[in-house]
Homo-oligomer: A and B are copies of this chain.
Amino acid sequence: MADSKPLFSLDGDPMAAEALLRDVFGIVVDEVIRKGTSASEKVCEWKEPEELKQLLDLELRSQGEASEQILARCREVIRYSVKTCHPHFFNQLFSGLDPHALAGRIVTESLNTSQYTYEIAPVFVLMEEEVLKKLRALVGWSSGDGVFCPGGSISNMYAVNLARYQRYPDCKQRGLRALPPLALFTSKECHYSIKKGAAFLGLGTNSVRVVKTDERGKMVPEDLERQISLAEAEGAVPFLVSATSGTTVLGAFDPLNAIADVCQRLGLWLHVDAAWGGSVLLSQTHRHLLDGIQRADSVAWNPHKLLTAGLQCSALLLRDTSNLLRRCHGSQASYLFQQDKFYDVALDTGDKVVQCGRRVDCLKLWLMWKAQGGQGLERRVDQAFALAWYLVEELKKREGFELVMEPEFVNVCFWFVPPSLRGKQESPDYSERLAKVAPVLKERMVKEGSMMISYQPHGTRGNFFRMVVANPALTRADMDFLLNELERLGRDL
């Protein structure tokens, strides 16, 4: 691509712009939507970083490139990117491709607006409110507030910021130095964003008191009470408990009712980080896992995970009806939120957030929901559970697989025990050797491009695989493939 042609600008040439976009869309259809979702294609095409840099010719130069070169670049970007929509991409809490959600994302990108005022986002201001209302109804609230945030970590931060503001409105002007030392509580299985958020919000990670979990990874309410007493004895003021519905590794659901009892008795804000597990609320069969969530003050829920809405789609939901969001975050910028507009300025929702420009994250979820209906989405959730349980049953039938625990969600955590370690459970270096298996298999599968699944150490346990059943296109054959492929990749170990 060194012989770059003279600059070819599309400015003011709508026909050329259209032609380019049609070509790019054709590439997307061929390479992502068709090949990327095909089990007979690779999940990824591994390259070492230095080699990949060369292949991509990343440097940005003075001279522009012609359309054919740009199209070639799109093909290369796709070629060397991981296909998260592939049926053997099990690596994260998101996977798969919902065509309606993608359609919503393409429309969103083409309209390119910001969610701050009714003036420039009339459809999306109303739509966001409707989608949030629906999500709140599933939580069990007939009123409330909320907003879409750029990811669950920021949704969780919002909850913490709102809780401290509600208790100490002074904090907005005077800052944390005007407040007593604060303490918030979450389990040792919580997502790392709680500590990151505490640092970012100026509370410091020490303000996060870690509550014990039981053998399933669920918060122990008795220990919560103990930690609260301890914090108080140390002079801190407890103000928030962050429970988790669907922990990152084990997929555990904290006992919300027992935790809500504690919060209610002590007047603490109850936040539920349901970024991962929130979508279970759609299932009549499984929503009991979140019993008590309606007693929360705030809920973070990421439909970009189990519902396949696409990155990012993270809702912060609030039970509050006192305009807390706007009071806490508002600054009444006169250049954007003019009060002499010709419509109801309560529709200018941008002052509810700490961002200024904010992406439209509601359309992809709304369009997918319209297409699938609540029933269709419920069926997906139920199917994910069913497949996870199928996997567990199949895994138990095979030699060489060991469950970390019986799952209650779609995270299936297990060790693959290679032939050389089978029956050696009693040897002193068994755990150490077993922990080295997953990284080796991971390297092999990625370099072959056959599948991707995550592993991690966890507490005193050595590396184990965390299988996530999230892609709505998965079938039993994909579960069988996972087990067969691990056996194949690990047969010489």
Which residues of chain B are near A85, meaning CB under 8 Å? 110, 112
Name the CB-closest residue of B to A100: B70
Contact B10 A99 (CB under 8 A): yes
Q: Is A326 an interface residue (CB 8 A)?
A: no
How far apart sit A207 and B67, CA to CA, in the bound complex (Å)? 51
Which residues of chain B are near A355, meaning CB under 8 Å? 150-151, 153-154, 193
How far apart sit A154 and B149, CA to CA, in the bound complex (Å)? 12
Contact B359 A20 (CB under 8 A): no
Contact A97 B112 (CB under 8 A): yes
Q: Using known A-B contacts A97-B112, A172-B204, determine if residue A331 contacts B20 with beta carbons closer than 8 Å.
A: no
Minimum CB–CB distance for A450 against chain B, Å: 15
Q: Using known A-B contacts A335-B249, A342-B443, A356-B153, determine if residue A61 contacts B171 with beta carbons closer than 8 Å.
A: no
How far apart sit A157 and B131, CA to CA, in the bound complex (Å)? 29
Which residues of chain B are near A131, meaning CB under 8 Å? 60
Q: Which of A107, A195, A374 has most B Cβ within 10 Å? A: A107
Interface residues on A, range: 35 or more
Contact B73 A370 (CB under 8 A): yes
Contact B74 A367 (CB under 8 A): yes
Contact A124 B356 (CB under 8 A): no
Contact A103 B74 (CB under 8 A): yes
Minimum CB–CB distance for A56 against chain B, Å: 7
Which residues of chain B are near A123, meaning CB under 8 Å? 52, 56, 77, 80-81
Q: Is A84 an interface residue (CB 8 A)?
A: yes
How far apart sit A312 and B149, CA to CA, in the bound complex (Å)? 13
Q: Which of B47, B62, B179, B356 contacts A152 (CB 8 A)?
A: B356
Contact A99 B21 (CB under 8 A): yes
Contact B473 A12 (CB under 8 A): yes
Contact B9 A193 (CB under 8 A): no
Which residues of chain B are near A92, meaning CB under 8 Å? 114, 120
How far apart sit A127 and B56, CA to CA, in the bound complex (Å)? 9
Which residues of chain B are near A59, meaning CB under 8 Å? 130
Q: Is A48 an interface residue (CB 8 A)?
A: yes
Q: Which of A175, A344, A443 has most B Cβ within 10 Å? A: A175
How far apart sit A32 and B371, CA to CA, in the bound complex (Å)? 22
Contact A199 B172 (CB under 8 A): yes
Contact B173 A177 (CB under 8 A): no
Q: Which of A37, A100, A375, A452 has most B Cβ within 10 Å? A: A100
Contact B64 A372 (CB under 8 A): yes
Name the CB-closest residue of B to A152: B356
Contact A472 B11 (CB under 8 A): yes
How far apart sit A446 and B119, CA to CA, in the bound complex (Å)? 8
Q: Using known A-B contacts A58-B126, A130-B60, A372-B7, determine if residue A176 contacts B173 with beta carbons closer than 8 Å.
A: no
Which residues of chain B are near A63, meaning CB under 8 Å? 373, 375
Which residues of chain B are near A363, meaning CB under 8 Å? 77
* Residues of A378-401 whose CB lies within 8 A of B: 379-380
How far apart sit A296 and B310, CA to CA, in the bound complex (Å)? 36
How far apart sit A312 and B151, CA to CA, in the bound complex (Å)? 14
Contact B181 A359 (CB under 8 A): no
Contact A342 B442 (CB under 8 A): yes
Contact B60 A374 (CB under 8 A): yes
* Interface membership of chain A positions 27-42, coded 1 if the CB is closer than 8 angstroms to chain B and 0 otherwise: 1110011101110000
Minimum CB–CB distance for A7 against chain B, Å: 5
Contact B33 A171 (CB under 8 A): no
Minimum CB–CB distance for A81 against chain B, Å: 5
* Interface membership of chain A positions 234-262, coded 1 if the CB is closer than 8 angstroms to chain B and 0 otherwise: 00000000000000110000000000000
Which residues of chain B are near A209, meaning CB under 8 Å? none
Contact B203 A24 (CB under 8 A): no
* Interface membership of chain A positions 148-191, coded 1 if the CB is closer than 8 angstroms to chain B and 0 otherwise: 00111110010001000000000111111111010000000001
Q: Is A421 an interface residue (CB 8 A)?
A: no
Contact B111 A354 (CB under 8 A): no
* Interface membership of chain A positions 111-123, coded 1 if the CB is closer than 8 angstroms to chain B and 0 otherwise: 1111000111111
Apart from A59-B130, A312-B357, list 18 A-B contacts with CB within 8 A. Answer: A7-B376, A17-B99, A20-B103, A21-B103, A64-B375, A70-B370, A77-B123, A78-B107, A81-B122, A81-B123, A113-B311, A114-B311, A154-B355, A176-B202, A176-B203, A192-B356, A302-B357, A336-B456
A-B contact pairs, 27 of them (CB 8 A): A7-B376, A14-B37, A21-B102, A62-B374, A64-B372, A65-B371, A65-B373, A67-B371, A70-B100, A81-B111, A82-B111, A82-B113, A82-B119, A92-B114, A94-B114, A94-B357, A109-B109, A151-B358, A172-B199, A175-B203, A175-B206, A199-B329, A200-B354, A201-B202, A334-B458, A335-B456, A342-B443
